[in-house]
């Protein structure tokens, strides 16, 4: 029996509808959650992501600013902009779109964003607070979205073995922290695989829940999946396809055609994790506005 598809678009739409209740309540108090997105340079993928985030803010009724800077922008200039946004009361959330040009230290910039406006969840203060289960901390949007996909698809997480393929600070490590927490969406037994993991297939086949975020097209094949496992594919990769007018197609880090014959449930690419990432960014921005109004 083919795997059940986990529809990130539908789940994201439902979550955004729920979020409208709090957005309306904040606006009634004179507070419109505000998000600033900073784009440095002319990376086409980054520009697309920022445009999608702005569109999502418009649809949700959030205030947003997109600030575009030349790729020659200096680190000092970007730091000054971040400080200005930190002090701007219309802005409750700040995201600096990555990657940044090589002349700028990514860590220095991300560490300068005020923790209370760090809706990407990249500041060390939020990283630490997420790791200890502080609900007021900002959870990085992609792993937070994966957790919500699992919860809202009625996947039993507690006591299950979750294997995460990829140890990035953006997905893999915070994903482990969320699944380990004591509460809804947590209490899993977590294993992280990475480029130095020996016989990775023997580890992934142990997973009740397999989350793949390694950035390699169709890396996980059907024989790497435990029959009936829930498979969450975080990857988005372009591969050449001359048969298509645009010359490429999007695939995940999981071989979809093989996985759907083995898994119990599976996210597609596109239409799986991607829509949830933007939804959880909106969620974090509303959370930031709510916490800003609290004494």
CA separation for the pair 9, 22 (Å, rounded) = 21
**Three-state secondary structure readout of 153-201:** CCCCCCCCEEEEECCCCCCHHHHHHHHHCCCCCCCCEEEEECCCCCCHH
- Give long-range contacts, CB 8 A cutoff, 24+ apart: 251-255: 251/217, 251/218, 252/212, 252/217, 252/218, 253/165, 253/166, 253/212, 253/213, 253/214, 253/215, 253/216, 253/217, 253/218, 253/219, 253/220, 254/212, 254/218, 254/219, 254/220, 255/218, 255/220, 255/221, 255/222
- Catalytic residue list: 53, 97, 120
HSE-CB for 258 with a 13 A CA cutoff: 14
64 bridge partner residues: 35
- Residue appearing with tokens 């680190």: 75
């Amino acid at each position: 029996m083919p795997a059940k598809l986990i529809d990130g678009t539908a789940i994201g739409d439902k979550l955004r509808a729920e979020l409208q209740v709090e957005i309306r309540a904040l606006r009634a108090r004179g507070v419109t959650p505000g998000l600033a997105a900073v784009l440095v340079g002319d990376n086409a993928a980054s520009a697309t992501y920022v445009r999608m985030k702005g569109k999502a803010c418009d649809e949700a009724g959030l205030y947003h600013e997109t600030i575009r800077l030349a790729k020659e922008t200096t680190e000092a200039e970007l730091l000054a902009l971040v400080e200005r946004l930190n002090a701007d009361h219309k802005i409750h959330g700040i995201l600096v779109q990555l990657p940044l040009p090589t002349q700028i230290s990514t860590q220095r910039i991300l560490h300068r964003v005020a923790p209370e406006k760090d809706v990407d969840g990249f500041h060390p203060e939020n990283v630490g607070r997420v790791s200890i289960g502080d609900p007021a901390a900002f959870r990085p949007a992609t792993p937070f979205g994966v957790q919500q996909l699992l919860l809202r698809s009625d996947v039993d997480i507690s006591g299950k073995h979750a294997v995460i393929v990829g140890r990035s600070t953006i997905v893999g490590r915070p994903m482990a922290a969320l699944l380990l927490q004591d509460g809804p969406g947590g209490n899993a037994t977590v294993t992280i695989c990475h480029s130095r993991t020996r016989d990775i297939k023997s580890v992934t086949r142990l997973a009740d829940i397999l989350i793949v975020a390694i950035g390699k097209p169709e890396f996980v094949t059907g024989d790497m999946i435990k029959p009936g496992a829930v498979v969450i594919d975080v990857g988005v990769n372009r591969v050449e396809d001359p048969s298509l007018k645009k010359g490429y197609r999007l695939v995940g880090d999981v071989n979809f055609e093989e996985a759907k014959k083995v898994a119990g449930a599976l996210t597609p690419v596109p239409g799986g994790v991607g829509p949830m990432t933007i939804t959880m960014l909106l969620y974090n921005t509303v959370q930031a506005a709510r916490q800003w109004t609290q004494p």
